[in-house]
Structure formats: structure tokens, C-alpha cells
A and B are shown apart, each in its own frame.
Chain A
Amino acid sequence: MDAILLQILNGLDKGGAYALIALGLTLVFGTLGVVNFAHGALFMLGAFCAVSFNQLIGLEKVTVDPTQMTPWGTPLEIRVPMIEDWLGATGTFILDYSVPFSILMAIPVMIIVGLIMERGLIQFFYRRTHAEQILVTFGLAIVLQELIKTWFGANPIPQVPPDTVRGAADVGTLIGFEAGQIVYPYWRLIYFLFSALIIGGVFAFLQLTTFGMVVRAGMADRETVGLFGIDIERRFTIVFGLAAVVAGLAGVMYTPILPPDYHMGMDFLVLSFVVVVVGGMGSLPGAVAAGFLLGVLQSFASMTEVKSVLPGIDQIIIYLVAVIILLVRPRGLMGRKGVMES
């Protein structure tokens, strides 16, 4: 029982990442009708926002202290991060919490990136075939990841979570298990809660605001909304920016779990597309449900007990589930009729 609970927990953080990326993919597809293979690159760009924020605030001021000597006989260099120098204790705090703080940088950056991408490229592909959309965004994804590779190098750059949440929580004790049976890192819990929060936010935005209502109307019947004198394309552009922010934030917060490298976007994209298809192309709840479902399934498949019966199952479980679901339920779990079938 505790093992099962632990595996469910294990799957939730990864599932959260899948769900956030799949949510953005579905939003873009539902509004603009564009299959965006560069969405994983947005996730990666978000992660590298965290990296560059960390590098930025980590810039050090070097002072030479002539009174102290190193063991090699040279004057001791004292390196102090500039931000500590300026802000004192606040600076130390910001340094410690650099990952959450980089969200502040990631949001404007991702909005700008998203808008540039949509206005500069995607808007010309509304009416081209899906194959062409896939191909051009695939090219864009390669370009983005290669740029990141030239700038940050090919090696993963580990990021650390803040000190207070670095350890693991004994989750089991909260729900009546003995201590030490279900131990789970704080940060993964935070990631799960964070993704739940973002998902809730996106849904609330779409359901409760006038803007969201217009967007939903546009998804259902874009022409009629246009006849009401609403510039639906502009709103859809903003939705693209929103999807970019969601993917970016998913990336920022994921950095302490997985050290970001330039191809993480592609790795997640392929899986997220499978998630979208399993959830049902064009269905937002489907994307979220399928994201968590596949994340949890993947963590179950990597249990040693399962692997000893079905070797290699952890490597293929997601694809296998996708194949089975597409054959049994052709439109995915919650897909609507007539989406992407021609």
C-alpha cells in the first residue's frame, strides 16, 4: 500500500510537467488550429530563464584582502555576490530562492518570446496544412535548442531548490503511516502543487473572465465571434502568449528536479504530444487528466517489481498506452468529434 502511494506521488511531479505542456499545446491547437512542435522549446526556454537568472544574480564582486593570505602565499580573494553586497540579508534570501524568483523574470520573457513567435511565424501558418505546421515548428524548435546550446553549452546545468525545502517530507505520517515509509522530496510536492495552481488558474481564466469567455466562444465558432465585431485573432495571439508562459513556468520550476540541458524540450515535447493525443486533441481537461495519468503510469512501470515481470516496460509504457487508447478510443479519452481528422 505504501509502495503504491509512493509511486503515485512519484508520478505526480512528472505528470504535472506533462499536463502543463499538454495544456499549452491544446490551448494553441484549440484556438489557432496550429500544431506547435516548438512548444517543448518554450518549456526549455523557461528552464534556461531560471539558469540565466541564477547566473545573473550570482555575479560576484571580487575584493582582495591584503591582511589575509591563502596557503599559497597570495592575498586572499573574497568573492561576494554583488546582490549580497547591495542588499545584505535580502540579497542572500534572493540568492537562496533564485528558482522561485526567476519566475518574475520568466513571465515577461516568455510573453515576449511567445508573441514574437506567434506574430513572426505562426500567424502565417493558420491556413497551411498540419504537416506544414509540424515541419516549420519542428525547424524552429531545432533552431531554438541549438541557440541555447551555443550559449549555455551542451552539459546540464544543475539548479538547487531553496535551503528550507531541500530535504524530503515524511508524507506518510500525515495520513497515518509509520514514520519513514513514504518519504518524498519537498520540491516535488511543491512542483505538483504549483502545477495544480497554474492549471486551476488557466481554467479559472477561461471560465470566469470575459476574455476567457470570448476565447472559448472563438474556439467553438470563430466565424460567428468575428461577426460580432470582435478581433478574435488578437485574443488568440494573447492566448499563445499565455500558453508560452505556462510552458515557461513549467520549465522554471522543473529545473531543481531535472538539470536543464538544451534537448530537454524535445524530450518532453514528444511525450507531451502523446499526452495530448491520449487526452483527446482539443480537450483541455483531457490533456490535464492524461498528463497526470501517464506520469503516474510511468512511475508505476519503473517499479522493480513490475520491471522484473515485464522488462523494459518503463521505457515504453507511455507509447504503449497511447497506442492502445488510440485504437480503442480513436479520439482519445475526451476528444471531440471532427478535430484533426482530415
Chain B
Amino acid sequence: MTAIKRETARGDLVRFAAFTVVILTMPLWLVPFGAAYPDLMQKFAIYGLFAIGFNILFGLTGYLSFGHAAFLGVGSYTAVWSFKLLGMNPLPAIGLAILLAGAFAWVIGFVSLRRTGIYFSILTLAFAQMSYNLAYSVLTPITNGETGLRVLNSDPRVLDHMIGAGEVEGSLVATLFGVEMNGLPGFYFCAVWLLIGMFVSFKIFRSPFGLMLQAIKSNQNRLNYTGINTRPYALTAFVISGMYAGLAGALLCVTDPLAGAERMQWTASGEVVLMTILGGAGTLLGPMLGAGIIKYSENIFSAFNEQTLHQIFGVLPDGVEGAVVSVAGLFVGEGWHLTLGLLFMLIVIFLPGGLIEGGRRIAGALSRSRKGGGIDHAHPQAAE
């Protein structure tokens, strides 16, 4: 019964406090990793939110959605439209993006959740591809097609003009009470939303509602036999995770006011699935960890080129060096997707529970060997 003890409210509070400290001090402890610049940290926070939201659906209920990028895209477009019509204040943009993405998720979820298993995955994929194709073609007046939607100086921006901030020199940036939302302030803005999102996720995981979602994952049939209609619960989870995606999409536009349709493509949906399972689906911190690792390695690997490789492997003898560089060259720069695909496979093959479960297994093995083969603590807990 260690599991229940570990889930006390106080334990959660401690964990959440630790998480807060870790996130807020990111600009400090990321320095040795060479990742302490705001653009990247904003990505950590934003994609962390996206994955945390996805995890509420996939991790808790087991419904594998392949179309979550659609909500990200809806959030982005809504945010940019809010910038265009209302003004560069990020708060209305975020509010509207969450609402609209939630509504959109409700419609798609209402239809898709009629089916389970792979049928559900295909339905969500179908809806996302429809949105993507429409955004590229017919909806061009709204989405500006391939060029992407951006804020122009000639846009109405009603609120900005009301407070007299209508005329801006140079490019337009989201501005919260006079602070421009790029660089470090932008990161902290995202980080605050990340903390809110994380807190909500903690609450959901520990609530009766969260237990119900886990029950759906472990045996939906049994729930149905006991007379419980599971669909409203699953739909709520779907809408909540859609709202997280909308929020993430809006934040992407807050830090860089540009929305493009490629954000909605199904490869983007695949990426968030990967983040979640890499960290550990169904765990609280896993998705954030996965998002951080993916975005970090994307950044590092895709920045490498032949010259940096030659520098790294310069100590090797000439012939060997050439071979090593040409092999390693496959995996970096343009070839980063190859690394991503391999990572995807390796994780699913060897560590289906994700990194968090891997860590727990190691910890379990250590404590077992210390106690000389005592009780097995390594049982994966869905709620962890």
C-alpha cells in the first residue's frame, strides 16, 4: 500500500513545489547544457504544456489520439486573430484560444469517442487531416494558407488603439502591460501557464474524475456493465486536453505572432505522442520530461553540421574520423528526423513505460538489492 501513502496531498504539494522551483530556475541550471536561451526555454514550456494535456487523455484513458495538432493549430489561429482584432495583449488571445480549441475538441471528441481502439485513432487523424487540408485550401481567407497568418500594422487592434498603443514602430510583439513577450519575460509568461497547467493536471490525477478516467483505461467494459456511462468522462478528458493544446498553440503565437498550417499536420500530432511516451504516459512529470528532451535534442542535433562533427571527432585517426563523421552525419542536421524515428522505436521496444518508469525500475532494483530481495516496489502505478 505504499502507492496510497505516496499519493498524499502533502507529497503532491512538495513535488509541485519542487517542480515550480525547477521550472523557474531553468535559466540558471540550463546554462551548462547550453540551452539557457529564451527561445528554447519557451519551447520547453509550451510543448511541455501540450504534452501534459495530451497525457490527460492518452495517459489516463488510454485513448490514442492522432489528431491533437489540430487543436494546437486552432489555438494558434485564434490567438493571431485576437492580436489582429483586439490587440497585442496576450490574455484575451489565450482566453479565446482555450475556449475555441475546447469547443472544437468537443465537436471532434463527440464524434470520435463513439468508437474505441484504432477506430478512434483513425477518426481523430481524419479530423486533423481535414482541418489541415482545409486550412491550406478553402479557409485561406482565415488562415492565409501557405504564407501563414501574421499580424499587420494595418489591422484594427481595437484595444491597442483605445489605450493609445496603436502605432508601433517595427514589428509587432505581444505585450502584456508594457512588457514585450519575447526573450526572458516571454519565457516566464509561458512558465506561469505551464505551472498552472501542471497544477490542474495534479488535481485531475488525484480527483475522483481522474480515477474514473483510469478505470476507463483499465477496463471500460466492466464500467459499462456496472451501469456507468463512460463517454461523458472520456469526452471531458478529450476537451480538457484539447484546451491544453489550444493554450500551447496560443503561447506559440504569443512568443512569435505567426501561425502556419504545418502546425496541424499529423507529424506534429505524432511528435506529441512521442513526447508523452518518451517521458512516460500516465505519469505526472513524464510528458514534461519527454517534451524537454525532444525539444532539447532537436535543437542540439539539428544544429550540428559536418564541421562541428569534425571538431568533435578530430582526436580520432584520419581514416577512422572520416568514417565516423560520415556515419554520425546521417543523424544530425537535416537527418535529425532519423534520430527521432530511431528514438521512437527504441523507447517503445525497450522502455514502453517511458523514462519515469525506467527510473523507477532502477530505483526499485537498487532498493531491492539493498534490502536483499525484499518486497517489489517496482509495480508501475498508473497514477504516478
Listed in ascending order, the chain A residues whose CB lies under 8 Å from chain B are 35, 121, 124, 128, 130-132, 134-136, 138-143, 146-147, 150, 270, 273-274, 277, 281, 311-312, 315-316, 319-320, 322-323, 326-327, 330, 340-342
Contacts and interface: CB of A to CB of B under 8 A. Distances in A.
Contacts of B134: 312, 315-316
B198 interface: no
Interface stretch (B288-296, B344-352, B364-372): B344-352
Contact of A316 (B130, B277, B335): B130
B136 interface: yes
A312 B137 CA distance: 6
Nearest to B128: A319
Nearest to A311: B138
B338 A341 contact: no
A136 B138 contact: no
Contacts of A273: 122, 125
A130 B118 contact: yes
B148 to A, nearest CB: 18
A168 to B, nearest CB: 28
B338 A142 contact: yes
Contact of B126 (A35, A128, A315, A319): A319
Contacts of B119: 277, 281, 326, 330, 340-341
Contacts of A132: 348, 352
Contacts of B342: 139, 143
A135 B115 contact: no
Contacts of A150: 330, 334-335, 338
Nearest to B62: A131
Given A131-B64, A330-B114, A322 B137 contact: no
A340 B349 contact: no
B114 A139 contact: no
Given A277-B119, A327-B114, 6 more contacts: A132-B348, A135-B348, A139-B343, A139-B345, A330-B115, A342-B221
A116 to B, nearest CB: 14
Nearest to A277: B122
28 contacts: A134-B64, A135-B273, A135-B274, A135-B344, A136-B349, A139-B342, A141-B341, A142-B340, A143-B341, A150-B335, A270-B125, A273-B122, A311-B138, A312-B137, A315-B130, A315-B134, A316-B129, A316-B134, A319-B129, A322-B126, A323-B123, A326-B114, A326-B115, A327-B114, A340-B119, A341-B116, A342-B116, A342-B117
B361 interface: no
Name the prevailing secondary structure of the A interface residues. helix
A339 to B, nearest CB: 9
Contacts of A326: 114-115, 119, 122-123
B19 interface: no
A9 B273 CA distance: 39
B114 A138 contact: no
B125 A281 contact: no
A130 B117 contact: yes
Nearest to A136: B348
Interface in B320-347: 330, 334-335, 337-338, 340-345
B337 A142 contact: yes
A150 B64 CA distance: 31
B127 interface: yes
B144 interface: no
Given A143-B341, A143-B345, A315-B133, A35 B118 contact: yes
Contact of B338 (A130, A146, A320, A342): A146
